[in-house]
Structure 1
Amino acid sequence: SVNQTGMVGTSKVEVGYDKTTGMVDGVKVGSKTLTDYKFSGELSGLINSFGYKKADGTIGGAYPDMLKKLDNMTAAFVNEFNAIHKQGYALGDGNQSVLNFFEIESGKSAAQSIKVNGEIIKDPSKIAAGGKSGGASGDNENAKLLADLKKKAFSEYSTKDQNSKELTGSFDTYYAGIIGKLGVDSQSAQKNLSNSVVLATSVNQNRDSVSSVSLDEEMTDMIKFQQAYNASARMMTMMDEMLDKIINGMGTVGR
């Protein structure tokens, strides 16, 4: 940048963070504040990867988007799993289970805080694996329903909510899609980096070919000038010999 005195300098870059979400909520370059993040370079890549707060208050970025999808998937899966678990019977129990198999800590995301119910960890016999009252030994009908849940389409969930409505496919395919997209995005970023490096190298080479010294050209000029010097030296030698002959040789005629 150039200031009012004509001095060339650099602008100070400041990155602001939202204290609640930890996301970038503004970038200040000199006296100008940027909120659209429509710029390039390493800084832009880091901001778009780790997350930023948009002007409308929503969160954007590669990692936040992926974590949101994981949270929605986990919450929908937990709700359906717990609902099926409560339809079953624990070993020797004549009543359907009232226990949730999974628990999610209040105030935390589902993917971050999912855990098995503490009562089930203490006493695994409370797992409602049976499909009939009494929970006879060997009755695993409800356990099969629980196991099949990972391949069950979200559209078939009995506990449909906002989380499951935004999901497509099954738990297996949706999770594979998230990981697959992450891999594709990573590969795309690496290719873009490689292409940028090649382009920058080409630009530098073209610039050097115009502004830098060409050793081949300089060597050619040196040989050319050397040959010209040798030719001039021979010409001077010839002129010296000719004058010497005229003055010293022809000057004795008539004596």
Structure 2
Amino acid sequence: MGELLGALNDPITGVGRYGAFSLDAAGKLAFKAYDPAATTMSIVTDATTQTPSGVSMSQLFGLGATGATRADAYSVRSDIQQDPGKLALAQLNLSAAAGTPALSKSDGRGGLALGDVGKRNVAFAAAGGSSGGAKTLSAYAADFAGEIGGKAAAAKTRSETAAALSKEADSRRASAQGVNMDEELVNMTTFQQAYNASARLIQASKDMYDVLIGILR
């Protein structure tokens, strides 16, 4: 990692003239520009490859506004999947004296540490609707799942509301465009009666006019 930082911060072949990369105790690689107002960083191409994951350095550290994808290429070996007993659970004793074993077959401290991973606080970055912060992996996963569930429920409610509005709009349109036979029959009967009444009125007026003419003669 020291060699990597040295290559990145080299003023000739790296970006040392514009800023500096640094690696904190949590393994987070960050770039700080000497003049933030005039210098921005973006990853155009990255031909580096990390072994054994096969991901590039920018993907490994999430540089260039890309989420860290170092876990995407990792998987459990097939022989360990078939026989979990082959999983190494011991911890290397770096202080072991020369000639003494640095690993013990009955040592399960690695397995205990692996089991406690979900209980340790980790500094998570803000992502999506989550503000991040220091929390356990289990708590972060619960918050993440809860946020997704809330958004899914809200999206379902909006979908159902939109479907109901669409159905009501279609019903009103069909009501405005369609023909109601009962209503048309009532209107036709009303118009027919009005026509008959008008015809009788005209006939009465004609009879009165004929009588008036007869009187004048």
Query: If the length of structure 2 is used for normalisation, what is the TM-score?
Result: 0.43
Query: If the length of structure 1 is used for normalisation, what is the TM-score?
Result: 0.38
Higher relative contact order (CA 8 A, sep 6+): 1
Instruction: Report which of the two has the higher share of helix.
Output: 1
